[in-house]
Chain A
Amino acid sequence: MTAPIEVTGSESEAQPEAVLAGMGGKVEGRSLGQIAWMRLRRDKVAMSGGVLVLVLILMAIFAPLLSSWFGHPPSEFHQDMIDPNLQRPLHGPWHSGVSAEFPLGVEPTSGRDIFSRIVYGARISLLIAFLATLLSVILGSTLGIIAGYFGGWVDTVIARAMDIFLAFPILLFAIALAGVVQGKVFGLSGNGLRIALLIFIIGFFNWAYIGRIIRGQTLSLREREFVDAARSMGARAPYILFRELLPNLIAPILVYSTLLIPTNILFEAALSYLGVGVNEPTPTWGGMLAQAVPIYSVDPWFMIVPGLAIFVTVLAFNLCGDGLRDALDPRTR
Chain B
Amino acid sequence: MVNFLIRRVLAAIALLIIVSMVTFAIFFLVPRLTGASSADLASRYVGKTAGPQAIHEVEVRLGLDRPLVIQYWNFVKGIVIGAHYNFGPSKVYCGPPCFGYSFVNQTPVWPDLLDRMPVTLSLAGGAAIIWLVFGVTTGVVSALKRGSPVDRASMGIALAGVSLPIFFTGLLSLAIFRDNLQWFPGAGTYVGLTQDPLTWASNLVLPWVTLAFLQAALYARLTRAGMLETMGEDYIRTARAKGLPERTVIVRHALRATLTPVLTIFGIDLGTLLGGAVLTEGTFSLPGLGKFAIDSINNNDLPRVLGVVMIGAFFIVLANLVVDVLYAVIDPRVRLS
Residues of A within 8 A of B (CB): 1-3, 11, 160, 163-164, 166-169, 171-173, 175-177, 179-183, 185, 262, 266, 269-270, 273-274, 286, 289, 292-293, 296-297, 300, 303, 307, 310-311, 314-315, 318-319, 322, 331-333
Q: Which residue of the partner chain, among A11, A180, A296, A310, contacts B31 with CB atoms under 8 Å?
A: A180
Residues of B within 8 A of A (CB): 11, 15, 18-19, 22-23, 26-27, 30-31, 34-35, 146, 159-160, 162-165, 167-168, 171-172, 175, 179, 221-222, 224-226, 228-229, 232, 261, 265, 268, 272, 275-276, 278-279, 282, 293-294, 297-298, 300, 305, 308-309, 312-313, 316-317, 320
Is the CB–CB distance between A176 and B297 below 8 Å?
yes
Is the CB–CB distance between A179 and B298 below 8 Å?
yes
Is the CB–CB distance between A311 and B164 below 8 Å?
yes
- What 8 A-B pairs are tightest by C-beta distance, nearest first? A307-B168, A315-B163, A314-B163, A2-B225, A332-B225, A169-B312, A167-B316, A332-B228
Is the CB–CB distance between A315 and B160 below 8 Å?
yes
Cα(A332)–Cα(B22), bound, Å: 40
Cα(A84)–Cα(B276), bound, Å: 39
Given A2-B222, A164-B18, A167-B320, A315 contacting B159 (CB threshold 8 A): yes
Is the CB–CB distance between A181 and B34 below 8 Å?
yes
Is the CB–CB distance between B312 and A172 below 8 Å?
yes
Is the CB–CB distance between A269 and B276 below 8 Å?
no
Nearest-neighbour CB distance to chain A for B283, whole angstroms, equals: 8
Residues of A within 8 A of B159 (CB): 315, 318-319, 322
Nearest-neighbour CB distance to chain A for B328, whole angstroms, equals: 16
Is the CB–CB distance between B297 and A175 below 8 Å?
yes
Of all chain B residues, the one with the shortest Cβ separation from A177 is: B26
Is the CB–CB distance between A175 and B294 below 8 Å?
yes
Further 4 A-B residue pairs, CB within 8 A, beyond A2-B226, A270-B165, A274-B278: A3-B226, A3-B261, A177-B30, A315-B163
Nearest-neighbour CB distance to chain B for A227, whole angstroms, equals: 22
Residues of A within 8 A of B146 (CB): 333
Given A2-B222, A185-B34, A176 contacting B165 (CB threshold 8 A): no
Is the CB–CB distance between B175 and A169 below 8 Å?
no
Is the CB–CB distance between B26 and A310 below 8 Å?
no
How many contacts between A and B, using CB within 8 angstroms? 137
Residues of A within 8 A of B272 (CB): 169
Of all chain B residues, the one with the shortest Cβ separation from A267 is: B165
Q: Which residue of the partner chain, among B15, B22, B162, B171, contacts A303 with CB atoms under 8 Å?
A: B171
**A-B CB contact pairs (8 Å), 17 listed:** A168-B22, A169-B316, A172-B278, A172-B305, A177-B26, A179-B300, A185-B34, A270-B165, A270-B167, A289-B167, A289-B168, A303-B172, A310-B164, A314-B162, A314-B164, A315-B160, A331-B229
Given A164-B15, A172-B297, A331 contacting B232 (CB threshold 8 A): yes
Residues of B within 8 A of A315 (CB): 159-160, 163
Is the CB–CB distance between B225 and A180 below 8 Å?
no
Residues of B within 8 A of A171 (CB): 278-279
Residues of B within 8 A of A332 (CB): 224-225, 228-229
Is the CB–CB distance between A331 and B34 below 8 Å?
no
Q: Which residue of the partner chain, among A169, A175, A179, A311, contacts B275 with CB atoms under 8 Å?
A: A169
Nearest-neighbour CB distance to chain B for A122, whole angstroms, equals: 15
Nearest-neighbour CB distance to chain A for B270, whole angstroms, equals: 14
Given A289-B167, A296-B171, A169 contacting B276 (CB threshold 8 A): yes
Is the CB–CB distance between B171 and A2 below 8 Å?
no
Q: Which residue of the partner chain, among B160, B278, B317, contacts A167 with CB atoms under 8 Å?
A: B317
Is the CB–CB distance between B298 and A311 below 8 Å?
no
Q: Which residue of the partner chain, among B11, B165, B232, B312, contacts A310 with CB atoms under 8 Å?
A: B165
The listed residue with most A CB atoms (<10 A of its CB), out of B168, B179, B308, B309, is B168
Of all chain A residues, the one with the shortest Cβ separation from B31 is: A180
Q: Which residue of the partner chain, among A176, A185, A293, contacts B171 with CB atoms under 8 Å?
A: A293
Given A2-B222, A167-B19, A173 contacting B26 (CB threshold 8 A): yes
Nearest-neighbour CB distance to chain A for B211, whole angstroms, equals: 14
Is the CB–CB distance between B222 and A172 below 8 Å?
no
Residues of B within 8 A of A292 (CB): 171
Is the CB–CB distance between B35 and A176 below 8 Å?
no
